Chains A and B, each alone.
Chain A
Amino acid sequence: MRITMQSVYNNILSNLGNLNKDMNQINKQISSGKQMDQISDNPVNLVSALGLRTNISEIGQYQKNIKYGETVINASENSLTQMNDLVTRAKTLAIQQANDSMTPANRENAAQEVRNLWEQAVSLANSTVRGKYIFGGFRTDGYTPAEPAPFVQGARDGYFVHGEEPARIAGKLTGTISTPASTPPVTNLEANDLLINGTGIEAVELDDTPTLTVDGLNMGGADNLKQKINDKTDETGVSASLTTLYAGGAATAPGTSTLSFSLNGEAVNITTGGVSPNQTATDVVNAINAIKERTGVTAAVGDTKNGGGNNSVVLRNTLAGDESAITVRGLTPPESSISGLANTPSTGQSADDTHNTGAISLSSWSDPDDEDAPPAQSFTITTSDGDDEILKRIGLGGGDKGFADIAGDGILRYGPDLQENDLLINGAAVTTEDDKISTIYSDASAAAKANAINNGDYGVSATAIPATWTAQGAVEAGTETSKLTGTIADNIDVGDGDLAINGITTSAISKSMSTTSGYNMERAATVKDVVNEISASTGVTASLTTLTAGSSVDHTASTSKIEFTINGETVKLYSSGTNNVAVAFEVAEAINAVSDQTGVTAARGSGNNGGVANSIVLENTMPGDETAIELTGLSNDESDRTGLGTNGDGKEDYIFTAADANTGQVSFSSEDQFTISSPNNLNDDSILKELGLHGGEEETGIEGDVEDDGKLTYGSTPIYLNRDDLVINDVRIFDHATAIQDRDVDNTLVRAINDKSEESGVLASRNESGQLILTAEDGRNIHLQTSALGEKVTHLNGGAPAPNDQVYFGSVKLWSDLPFKLESDLAATTGVDTETGFVAMGLDGGSEVTGEEDDIAGDGRLKVDTIYRDDDEVRYAGDRNNDIAIKVGQQSTIEVNKNGNDAIYQSGVFRVLKELENFLLGDRFTTATSAGQAVNQPGAEPRANLRVPLNSGETGLELEERIEEGSFQVKVLDHDKVPATERPFSIQVDPENDTLEDIAARLNGLPGLNAAWDDSGYLQLSSTDPERYSFEFNNDSSGLLDATGLKHSQVQASALQKSIDELDTLHSELNNQVSDFGARANRIEVQSNIYMNLELATKENLSELEDTDLTEAIMALKAKETAYQAALSSASRTMKMSLVDFL
């Protein structure tokens, strides 16, 4: 190629320029120390370098974080370790002071020290690092004057409010159907006029004038309505019932006359002046009403408006919704027409379309045998008209009939449940549903409410406080152990006037009446009749004892597998006997095996004991018990083999009453002391002998009875409670007639209720005055059904001696760590509005009830935001949910603290220390073990010694002899109330009747207290909620506390022992916490080391990427310089080398 000078110059220049640039670059690298000056210098390296630089700055921050974390973790560890030291010290003190030799003054000093420890624990819990609380969760700062630190000494934890128990309600809702004579007159119900729980009821005829209405009561209408409502029971869960009413014809005025009959088995004897029909009727009514507590029947004089014609006697079951039969027996013409009572059918008159009160009773009802049946819940009646007109037709309009009932809204609710919009907690609606444990109104129980709140997201937790109920009066019954019962003999005629009761003579009782298998059954029935003839004057009634005997058993009858029921209880046996005697014994034995449940005793007939030879003789166990013996399920073969029933008649079911056969005995009873005498035979007992009541103290068993003085005096006789007399939560408390004593001194009632507590969920106790105290075991309702007699004896439901049916509800406690708000629907009433939702929760009534100062009754709002001061408490005001995490890696964080609730509060350190202080001061016991041991006899049945009377000498208590009749007091303190409230209970001790188990049961039945004898013979007592309830014993006049080792000092010692145990647990809990923080400290240190190494390595990498390698750079520079110089010199030579120069 042709090379010109220009090219040569240009080449030289450009090459020199390049060299210059390179040298400059190298120069810059050397002087700056960095390889890259511009991003374009080495983009690949640069990106890596940028990444590394980020890494390094991150690592730097992580290390700063770790350093901070270490500080916090170490501080936490320190605080917890010191707290653990405090606990150790407390334990040492507790062990020292548990020693018997310590005086109260010693213990008081120790208590003072424990209080100091407690205070130190609080201040340790409030430790800070750089002014920030380490145990406050996220709330490291920002405390208020009211809550100056995470742990506030002297205030209760959280915010809370206690509801009161909602008012009890009757088990059934009753309304009287209006009649054509009402204003406005009754009209028929169209289909869907009435809806129960949303299900429409078919059309009901109420206004078929006048056939439905009988003497002013719409009996037919009530019956029609009942049928239609019950048609839908499966859907509505509500069943309807009538109330039995029976009216006789008009009474007459026969002049003075005596009327004797029995009403529901109770004798009625009336002597009426009979001056006018009205007078007769009034006399009959008064006589019947005088014994209404025994019959359950109330009487009134008919006036054509109350179900009976003028001057008739109208009988009705006292309890609304009671459809059971009213039975009048023994009235024969002309007495029946005089009395205003025509004979009822022999089986009695049950409620039907012409025998009812014209009222209908509604009750929530669930079929226990159908799993899919709706539960027995609160119910709501709605109507198609939207006002109360339809409700008024069935007697339920006008407001105040149901729960928060307003007049004129066409709606009636029954049961204090929570429906939508009734109650809002923090703005969210609470609705209750079946609690699965209550037998009735199961969506209105405390459990249902607590469940609804706890299962929802309200920010509030709820605790169901069990329902508890104290009877309105002491248990009231007779005083003797049994009725006075004698076996009738048949020796002499008892003439008219030969026998007197309370000085009033009886009619004659002739001899040689018919006997049955050796028993003077007819004579016994006669004695009963003549005694009862005058019982209106004497106050003494006589009764027989039901007996029934079959024919002889037949071992040849084919069946050997026998199963039938007596009084509803199954009797089952495999009869293998090959002769009649053996079979009779087998059958009798099988029946006697369940006699506790049936109340019936069996014997093999001997021909002299009321039954033919080898027959089965059944008797009511309790003398004087006339209740029927019912046999069901006897097949022909079974009937043949056992001789029971009537052979070959093909029937399966039999009812035998005392009128059919009796034991030949007569039992006398009275509420008061009475005397039986033979005025014509003052010096011998021959007349009394006829009644089987002769022979003085030894024969009659009556203390002080003298032989051959012709009389005997007996204290009042006991009352027997039978199957239907007391029913708790659908559980019959008594399986058979059981004698009850005044004030239940022999514990029969308390024991019977507690024996069934597993089924009923209800515990019983009684106080010194003999009142029963019932407490539910959990949040369920208590449904108490009492018969007239049951009520008269127990006074449980309202106290008045009439049958009753009531439901009692528990209460609910609400707690939250934040203030919370409740809102209630308002039912507009005159005056202060009803806060529907609050009524259901027992929170209505404003600040007096809720304790919240700003709460105004009737405004439907309640803000729970009071912080209660309490010197003995520590409040946690920090954050309960979060633990602060710091970032120690791109993806990893480490929690450097634990919020104070989890780390400290939950360990119970403050509570345990405070308890120890209280125990040292002899205060606020929550647990106790008896010092005395009840040692059982070797070989005796387990716990046998716990079931013998306290004065038997067999309880195994060393100090048993110190127990005497008297009482002691238990005080249950409720510390949830501010200030604490106390409920004193006086427990009466009767060494003759009470056993150790009775005492425990009575303590256990008290609200807030658990008590039971353990298997080693120590009585274990504890509070059902140690943070809430404590107890104290005192005022011991019975010596029981002394004998069992529950004296104050002994309780204190056992409480201290418990404290020691708890301190142990606390110790290990805190140790766990400490080691947890230790582990974190380790982890963070490891992390820190890793970062230290990583930082070095990364820096090295980065340096490799971006720093100038000086040697290399200088070498390069040198090379470039040499090149430059060479280039220069060669250029100069090149440039000199030209033809011109040459030329």
Chain B
Amino acid sequence: MGGGDNGGPENALIFRNTNAGDESSITIDDLDGDSLTRMASPTSILGLDKLEDKTIVADATHNTGEITLFSDQPYTIESGVNDNILAQLGLHDIEQREDQGNGQLRVEPGEGDDDDFLLSGFKHGDQLNTEDGSFSIWIYEEDGSLALPQPVEVSMERAYTARDAVEAINNAIINAGGTDNPEDTHPTPWVQANFEKQRFTLTPNDGHQFALDGARQDDGTFGRDTSNFLQVAGLNTFFTGDSAGTIGINQTVAEDLNYLAAGQVQDDGQIYAGDNTNALEISNLQQKDDIKFDGGRSNSLNGFYNSLIGDIGNKGRTIGRNQEFNELVLNQMQEMRDAVSGVSLDEEMANLVKFQHAYTAAARMISISDEMLVTLLETVR
């Protein structure tokens, strides 16, 4: 109930999403529906005139005034030397904070139950559509015939934690009749979803198989997955890893190519041995020229590889040239240095001869002087 200080005026009805950081919409409709028809004007009595048949999403004027941060890794917020700025975000006095007062906030992954993992914290968790998104699971008998004539549509609506997702999957399968013990309080679905060690697994029971519908849709969504859950949870049969850095081939496929999904699940759920749709798609990947690479460039895989090689070649060549150039410069310099400081044999020899001659001349000077002195002296005597 609104109090003038909690997002609504006094005595107004206030609706808020229970889960912090849950931006999914709140919709109120059918206000004129059967149950209320006998009330004169239900919308104004309830104060909901403005909400009638509207869908409210979190925006600048529709939120709880709180902000929730998600990451798949530990992270630190730094804001000067004290908590003043953190206080502006309401993040200064979080319980059990050990780094109080230093302007820093370090967030480590929570301990706790696996199931409490928040889907928003997954890598690419921001891609998740919990508004009206869903994905489909086909379930088959052991012999490959359909166990359920239609795919089980798993709605990710308002899924918040890993447990929500697991329950959504299991319940959807059970509700679609995919269980052997529907009468039990806790029926076992034919395909059981689990979340352990921070990984989602789907495991069929004995006698069943399943397929995630992998057909690529015209709108580009994968696997009739409008929720993007499969992508976020990393549920696919081709790859492991979550980025170009960690990408790898699914172990099972790598060991036995028969497990490579060369075909797709047909619209009617059939899986055919001769279906090469995916194989064609995969082979087309090589030439597909709208693949986005780091830096926003689009190119084909092949083209990117070739230009990478070209780049490296060019770099190698440039380096070779640089080396050559620098060697030449070095030589030149040495030559120039040598020109100044180097010893030229001819020059030294010439100097030697020159100085020898000077010496000889000087010596001769002395001997002549001596003779002259002798002569003089003798003359005088």
Contact = CB atoms under 8 A, between A and B. Distances in A.
Interface of A: 1-7, 10-11, 14, 38-44, 46-47, 50-51, 54, 132, 136-142, 144, 192, 200, 382, 384, 426-428, 459, 817-821, 861, 863, 879, 881-882, 884-887, 890-891, 893, 1138-1140, 1143
Contacts of B312: 39-40, 43
Given A142-B144, A427-B149, A46 B273 contact: no
Interface string B248-271: 000000000000000100111110
Interface string B325-354: 001000100111011101111100110010
B2 interface: no
B343 A818 contact: no
A1138 B348 CA distance: 12
Contacts of B295: none
Contacts of B273: 132, 138-142
B190 to A, nearest CB: 15
Given A40-B320, A54-B302, A140-B272, A47 B345 contact: no
Given A2-B344, A39-B313, A54-B302, A1140 B349 contact: yes
Given A39-B313, A882-B266, A887 B272 contact: no
Interface in B64-89: none
Nearest to A459: B268
A774 to B, nearest CB: 37
A449 B307 CA distance: 61
A139 B272 contact: yes
B27 interface: no
Contact of B274 (A42, A138, A891, A1139): A138
B339 A3 contact: yes
A882 B309 CA distance: 40
A39 B342 contact: no
A14 B277 CA distance: 62
Contact of B150 (A141, A144, A427, A863): A427
B236 interface: no
* B263, B306, B336 interface centre (most CB from chain A within 10 Å): B306
17 contacts: A2-B342, A4-B342, A39-B309, A40-B317, A42-B313, A43-B311, A50-B306, A138-B270, A138-B275, A426-B149, A428-B150, A818-B269, A819-B145, A819-B149, A885-B280, A891-B287, A1143-B349
Nearest to B287: A890
Please list the 10 inter-chain residue pairs (A to B) with the smallest Cβ-Cβ separation, ordered nearest first: A40-B316, A140-B274, A43-B313, A4-B342, A138-B272, A141-B273, A39-B313, A1139-B346, A47-B310, A138-B275
Contacts of A428: 150
The number of chain B residues touching the other chain, given as a range, is: 35 or more
B334 A39 contact: no
B176 interface: yes
Given A3-B344, A11-B335, A140-B272, A881 B266 contact: yes
Contacts of A38: 313, 316
Given A3-B339, A1139-B350, A43 B274 contact: no
B146 A142 contact: no
A1139 B306 contact: no
B331 A10 contact: yes
A47 B308 CA distance: 9
B37 interface: yes
A42 B349 CA distance: 51
A44 B314 CA distance: 8
Contacts of B50: none
Contacts of B1: none
B176 A427 contact: yes
Contacts of A861: 177
B276 interface: yes
Contacts of A136: 272, 274
A192 B37 contact: yes
Contacts of B148: 427, 821
* B148, B273, B316 interface centre (most CB from chain A within 10 Å): B273
Contacts of A382: 34
B36 to A, nearest CB: 12
Given A3-B344, A140-B274, 15 more contacts: A4-B344, A5-B345, A7-B335, A10-B338, A40-B316, A42-B317, A43-B311, A43-B314, A200-B37, A820-B149, A821-B148, A863-B149, A881-B268, A882-B266, A1143-B349
Given A46-B310, A136-B274, A459-B268, A39 B316 contact: yes
Nearest to A143: B273
Given A40-B315, A882-B272, A50 B309 contact: yes
Contact of B270 (A43, A879, A1143): A879
A818 B149 contact: yes
A384 B39 CA distance: 12
A199 B286 CA distance: 62
Contacts of A140: 272-274
B146 A818 contact: yes
